[in-house]
Amino acid sequence: MSMRTPLSRVRGLGSAKEGTGHFWHQRVTGAALAILVTLFLILLIAIAGRPYPEVMAVLSNPFVALLMVLMVAAGAWHMKLGMQVVIEDYFHGGLLIAAVIANTFFSIAVGLATALALLKISFGG
Amino acid sequence: MSNSDAKAGRPLSPHLQIYRWPITMTMSILHRVTGMALYFGTLLLAWWLIAAAAGPAYFDVANAVFGSWIGRLVLFGYSWALIHHLLGGLRHFVWDFGAGFSKSARDNLAYANIIASAILTVLVWVVGLLLH
């Protein structure tokens, strides 16, 4: 006999209370990144090795900046989820918790540092 | 027939020496390894943009590092990891729709992934260097 309530079964979120959220977020950010990274690679080909003022002019274009910030945001979330899967495969116990937290810290720190640099370039600071 | 004869005739479970390594296993490992390389490689993108935000003097330092032969080698590897992981993700999308699970399809997808990633990486660099 199941001890779960009918409401719990309908919601289907399980003991972690997030259901297939991890898997789904990995896919949605992956779909976004497939588009954003392709555009980024084209942009990078165009500006690689160009002089400083030219690169700054391109990076401070609002559409380019938006594209880059979106890529960094989707990328930070995607890499946090992906690395968490790897960590959960190889770490156990207290080390697992520490590694998962370190992963979250790293992903957010790199993502925000990159976004901040982009905003500084955009606002001409 | 004795009991030991019956045992000798049994099929053995695959072990390392006689296991025919499927290409999909290589691709699974590559997807994880390239993902982890990209994870730490985000530091390169962060550093490049922070250098640009810091001003022309520091931007030149970053460009000199990326433009050196070892810098270019790292960037070449990074661009391949990015393209390979991107195409690997598209392969996963095909599976998510329930397609591409037959033996020939999954092998073809695996080979297409690795060949396309190599060609696209070289293409990106040829176009990039020609424009430069």
Cβ neighbours, 10 Å, residue A75: 24
Q: What is the pLDDT of residues A72-89, one digit of tens each?
A: 999 999 999 999 999 999
Cα dihedral A108, A110, A114, A119 sign: positive
pLDDT of residue B7: 66
Q: What is the CATH number of the domain that holds B28?
A: 1.20.1300.10
pLDDT of residue A80: 98
CA–CA distance, B102 with B109 (Å, rounded to integer):
10
Cα dihedral A83, A77, B93, B36 sign: negative
CA–CA distance, A18 with A3 (Å, rounded to integer):
19
Where chain B has pLDDT below 70, the residues are: 1-8, 12, 14, 16
For residue B67, being part of any structural domain is answered with yes
Nearest Cβ partner of A52 from B36, B59, B131? Answer: B59
Binding residues of B for heme: 85
A 101-120: CB under 8 A from B: 110-111, 113-114, 116-118, 120
For residue B3, being part of any structural domain is answered with no
Q: What is the pLDDT of residues A31-55, one digit of tens each?
A: 999 999 999 999 999 998 889 999 9
Show Cβ contacts of residue A58 under 8 Å, excluding neighbours closer than 6 positions. Answer: A43, A46, A47, A50, A64
Domain range enclosing B51 = 22-131
Q: What is the pLDDT of residues A87-112, one digit of tens each?
A: 999 999 999 999 999 999 999 999 99
CA–CA distance, B32 with B28 (Å, rounded to integer):
7
Record the tokens describing residue B71, joined without a space.
């810098």
Residue A33 contacts B, CB cutoff 8 Å: yes
* One-letter identity of residue A99: A
Nearest Cβ partner of A110 from B43, B60, B92? Answer: B43
In chain B, residues with a C-beta closer than 8 Å to the C-beta of A30 are: 89, 92-93
> Which of B50, B60, B97 is the mutation pick for testing A, counting most A CBs within 10 A?
B50
C-alpha atoms less than 13 angstroms from C-alpha of A27 in its C-beta half-sphere: 12
**In chain A, domain spans:** 20-122
User: When comparing pLDDT for B99 and A12, which is higher?
Assistant: B99
Q: Total structural domains in chain B? A: 1
Output the DSSP codes for B36-96. HHHHHHHHHHHHHHHHHHH-HHHHHHHHHHHHSHHHHHHHHHHHHHHHHHHHHHHHHHHHH
CA–CA distance, B17 with B26 (Å, rounded to integer):
17
Nearest chain A residue to B45, by CA? A114
Q: CATH class for domain A20-122?
A: mainly alpha
CA–CA distance, B100 with B110 (Å, rounded to integer):
11
